Structure 1
Amino acid sequence: MKRVVGFTLIELLVVIAIIGILGSIAYPSFQSHMIKARRGEAQTELIKAQLKQTSLHILNPAYSDDEAEIGLVNSDYYTFSVISAGTTTYSMQAVAKVGTTQNNDTGCTTLNINQDSAHTNEDCW
């Protein structure tokens, strides 16, 4: 009698169950890493704008409140803005856009930075 080679239905169901369990464990971890990576991108943009503010302040008597001039361009996940700008101080922020996964970044949906590199929430930086 010839032996049939192949997978049984039970073996196939066990493999599918294992893949499902591994996927349910891995996906939240992946989401967490993506949120942190996008937050890092927002921080980088704020620091680049901070460097631009410093270089512009050397040439001008005041900091700029023009987002385009200092290179603050909104991304898919964050809205960037200059909150205030004067002769000696400025404050900029990045706010996570509503409806994106960044809005789930608990406690870190708003990132602020000023002329002294002070941050509003040190845990987010």
Structure 2
Amino acid sequence: MMTKQKGVTLIEMLIVVAIIGVISAIAYPSYQSYVLKGHRTQAMGDMVKIQLALEGDYAKTSGGYEAMPLVSEINNNDTCSFCDIDTSKYSLSISNASTNSYTIIAKPKFQANNDTCLINDLTLNQNSTGTPASCW
């Protein structure tokens, strides 16, 4: 009488490993894409918060954007006190601040060659015009 052995053969184990490898190869790049979009969305949200603060202060004082404390805080500290941004992912700055205009810049601090929105810096100006337009 033959006894039936219980267990997993090497072939079955290799098939399972191959299936896990294929699933991982498909899922990981998609996961990375969503993480990058999440960081970009957070940076954009903080840029809009900065814009709202600048416009609110401008409406109160009407002394021009360049004299606002928020501009020097962001340019000197690379972040703002009320923002949620991860400073290891993006750095914030305000350039071209003058009496009637400004440009908020979010510069990525990491490389992501497969994300076209990270090739250039994200910008937002006083007219609520964000660039690159395809990323907004």
TM-score range, shorter chain: 0.7 to 0.9
2:4 counterpart of 1:3? yes
* Corresponding residue SS for 2:57: helix
Choose the corresponding residue for 1:115, options 126, 133, 136. Answer: 126
* Structure 1: runs of 5+ lacking an equivalent: none
How many residue pairs match? The answer is 123
Asked whether the 8 Å contact 1:53–1:70 carries over to 2, the reply is: no
TM-score by length of 2: 0.79
CA pair 44-28 structure 1, distance change in 2 beyond 3 A? same
2-structure distance, mates of 1:74, 1:3: 59
1-structure distance, mates of 2:113, 2:50: 22
Residue identity matched to 1:19: I
2:106 counterpart of 1:105? no
5 Å-filtered alignment, 1:85-100, equals 85-97=97-109, 100=110
| Root-mean-square deviation over aligned CA pairs | 2.2
CA deviation string 1:66-119 (max 9, x = no partner) = 21696467621111000121221111100111xx24565324341000111011
CA pair 44-9 structure 1, distance change in 2 beyond 3 A? same
TM-score by length of 1: 0.86
Asked whether the 8 Å contact 1:91–1:112 carries over to 2, the reply is: yes
